[in-house]
Structure 1
Amino acid sequence: MQYRDLGSTGFSISALGFGAFKIGRNQQIKYSQAYDLPDDTTTERLLNSVLDLGINHIDTAPAYGISEARIGQFLSHRRNEFLLSTKIGETFENGTSTYDFSRDSLQASIERSLRRLKTDVLDVVLIHSNGDDEKILNQTDAIEILQSFKKAGQIRWIGLSGKTHAGATEALNWADILMLEYHLEDRSHAALIQTAAEQGVGVIVKKGLASGHLPAADAISFVLRNPGVSNLVVGGLNLDHIQTNWETAAGVAIQPAA
């Protein structure tokens, strides 16, 4: 099944999303192999080819270096063809990653993302957690900021890209979307994915290939067999690999809910 419901948003999202980390950042990475950033011509061809395949979700973040700017540069003319997700809380500049959940920083981050991505509306904005999910949710203005931009019509749907079960569970109270880590070697969020689906919260899976450490075909099939998963984000710079992954995703049969 190539397209799935994104929770109760009404949006039909491709089972596979494109993670745009590698077009913007190659420092302080968790991937098993180093890589060079693609040049502009290669990046433009890659991004447009991803959409041409039928993938209608591109995921980025200020923490992905120049990724947002490149998406805005090369895909703004096709903005109505895909769902765009980005994040707040973490940035990557001058080779350094920093977290800042202050009100002013979060507001400025959303405004920068709108400019860089050359769009009037961000489809999905997620809190980019540093691992202290509950503190961010309860002791910062992050949720309030997201809700205010959503009310103003500059964000369609909001949520959390977290790291803890407790944080994700708490986010079910307000989030439209959860981004969770889930793969063959880490199934700790399995029950939470089912709960989210039952509550109409969309689930986007990150690191489904364990940052490139799992065989793509097996990893993609495992994640997408879960009926509670709306979408799996997979990055890459090799278009042939992306096409193969898309074909794998298209052939996955969803397991009946327990």
Structure 2
Amino acid sequence: MAFLRPLGDTGLTISALGLGTVKIGRDQGVKYPDAFTIPDDQAVRELLALARELDINLIDTAPAYGRSEERLGQLLTGRQDWVIVSKVGEEFENGKSRFDFTPEHTIASVERSLRRLNTDYLDCVLIHSDGNDLEVLRQGTLEALAELKRKGLIRAIGVSTKTVEGGLETLRRADVAMVTYNLAHDQERPVIDYAAEHGKGILIKKAFASGHLQAGHADPVQASLDRILGTAGVGAVIAGTVNPKHLRENVEKARRAVGDL
């Protein structure tokens, strides 16, 4: 295994660890155990530069992450060096989430993300499911993304799912599923196994249970990365941090998990 690896058959090559960016855009309604401060522009520039120095090329954002997309559009350099994942379906306004999965909103959301991120294409766009995965998939959202993909605005499409049924249906109809998988949660493993068998892409969210990993391991982060990145079908773990020390440590542990140290 290597730190840089394919995301299914999408043609995208991604780092085994991706940088989640909710913490650069939003500090309300997030489920982290420790308080944090949204970093200033210079701190974000330094974090992004460090990520590239450490061979991270995968970055995860979303309209629901407050000002994350907008800030990345201003502060991210070397667009061609990054694989950018964004989302549609969830909006975060006045401290609350709301969902809109209509095709019209989907198209408008992608167009807005392109403007905010200062780019003419997105590498991957996922539907930000509200948990009712199969109902979401009946609303024409995926078809709208597929049309944008045909136009060259998106390279890969999929869903950030919350159910096994939703994950499997996503992979039957699209390129990528983002699923939860960690030491305490392996219920969505059938989705990963399906992806491995069919050349589909898998991104992992909540690998560290949003900072709530159970004890019982000398190093629960290493144990979680070992399990996740050792599972056939997994493309990358998305880990959100604004702490440079944590980023370095996470990359070192991810490299160790894939035998790249």
Cross-structure match for 1:21: 22
1:123 and 1:156 in contact (8 A); partners too: yes
Percent of pairs with identical residues: 46
Question: What is the root-mean-square deviation in Å for CA atoms of aligned residues?
Answer: 1.2
Partner residue in 2 for 1:194 = 193
In structure 1, what residue type is equivalent to 2:247?
Answer: I
> Which residue matches 2:216?
none
1:197 & 1:145 partners in 2: Cα distance? 26
What is the number of residues matched between the two proteins?
252
| Corresponding residue number in structure 1 for 2:168 | 169
Instruction: Letter of the 1:13 partner, please give it.
Output: I
The residue aligned with 1:6 is 7
The one-letter code matched in structure 2 to 1:80 is Q
Please report how far the alpha carbon of residue 61 of structure 1 lies from its aligned counterpart in structure 2 after TM superposition: 0.4
CA distance in 2, matches of 1:31, 1:148: 36
CA contact (8 A) 1:159 1:175 kept: yes
Structure 1 runs not aligned, ≥5 long: none
Q: CA deviation at 1:7?
A: 0.2
Letter in 2 for 1:73: Q
Q: Deviations over 1:15-66 (max 9, x none)?
A: 1000111111110011111211111111121122212211010000000000
Change (3 A) 1:10 1:106: closer
Q: Which residue of 2 aligns with 1:115?
A: 115
Note the alpha carbon deviations across 1:126-175, whole angstroms, 9 max, x for none.
0000000000101x120111011001100000001010111111112221
* Aligned partners of 1:47 and 1:71 also within 8 Å: no
CA deviations 1:205-225 (Å, max 9, x no partner) are 000000011232222222111
* Structure 1 residues 169-248: aligned runs within 5 Å: 169-214=168-213, 215-248=220-253
1:100 aligns with 2:105: no
Match of 1:126 in 2: 126
User: What secondary structure sits across from 1:156 in the alignment?
Assistant: strand
Q: Deviations over 1:99-137 (max 9, x none)?
A: 111222211111110000000000000000000000010
Structure 1 runs of 4+ off > 6 angstroms?
Answer: none
Q: Which residue of 1 aligns with 2:91?
A: 91
Q: CA deviation at 1:70?
A: 0.9
Give the unaligned 5+ runs of structure 2: 214-219
How far apart, in 1, do the equivalents of 2:100 and 2:191 lie?
Answer: 27
User: SS of the counterpart of 2:210?
Assistant: coil
